[in-house]
Each structure stands twice: as structure tokens, then as C-alpha cells.
Amino acid sequence: MKKILGIILSVLGFAGCDIIGNTEEAYGTPYAEFEVKGSVTDGANPIENVQLSYGNPQYGNYTSPSDTTDSQGNYNFVNVLFPEKSAFMIVATDLNGKYESDTIIDTVYNSDFSGKKKNDDWYCGKASKTVNFTLKEK
């Protein structure tokens, strides 16, 4: 019985190889470079020390660690995400407690990506979005 099972498994194993035709199988996930940058202000002045969390609005998950604005109120995320139409969410939280939190949801589209390499089926290029926040005082 073990011998018959071994023969069957061997035959099935060869069916996935390239002996039948010129088929190429690959395993993995396409990826792209994606950057989200922007600034946080009160409408006139930059706000320093605002924590920005990046995530997927469908799942509510955020990257870790998050980014914090600098003295000019700027932040920058560099992420890798799947290149198909994807929504992303950024939550801005003032760590000093003076301003209300805010959330922005945006979408990155296939047309936003550039720089795809012709012979690389895995790398889908780069995209960049600018998302600016204006926080209100509590």
C-alpha cells in the first residue's frame, strides 16, 4: 500500500513541474513602495509632537511604530502595500492634549504608481500621497 501511495504522490508531484509545457509558476506577492507625507497645523502654525498612525480602515490596524511630527509639523511614512486599489487611514493624535484628534481616509490607485520595471513582475513601482491635517483646539 505504501508503495502505491508513493507512486501516486510522485506522479502528482511531477504534474506541477515543467515537463508538460513551458509554464512558469511563481509564488509570492507583488509589492510597491508607497509614501504618505504631509503636515499638521492649527490652520496657521505647525503643530509639533502629533502622533500619526497609518493603517487600513477596513481592518483598523496601524503600523508600528507610528510617526511623530517634527518642529515644522511634518511627518513621513514609507510603507509597502499591495498595488491594487487600496484604502489607507491616518489618525493624528496630539500628544500634548491641546488639539482634538482627526482621521483621514484616502485611496491609492494603480494609476498613482510609476517606475515599474519591465522584467520584474513583482515590483509595481512607487507612489506618493500628501495628506495634510488641520487640527482644532479642544
Q: How do residues 62-121 score in pLDDT, each as one tens digit?
A: 665 578 999 999 999 887 666 566 788 889 999 999 999 999 999 888 888 888 877 777
pTM: 0.71
Each domain of the chain, given as residue ranges in start order, spans 31-113+124-138
* Topology adopted by domain 31-113+124-138: Immunoglobulin-like (2.60.40)
pLDDT band at 15 (very low <50, low <70, confident <90, very high): very low
| Residue 28: C-alpha distances to residues 63, 91, 121, 122 (Å) | 22, 30, 11, 8
Strand partners, 92: 52, 102
Nine cell digits for residue 59 = 481592518
Query: Strands 102-108 and 86-94: what pairing?
Result: antiparallel
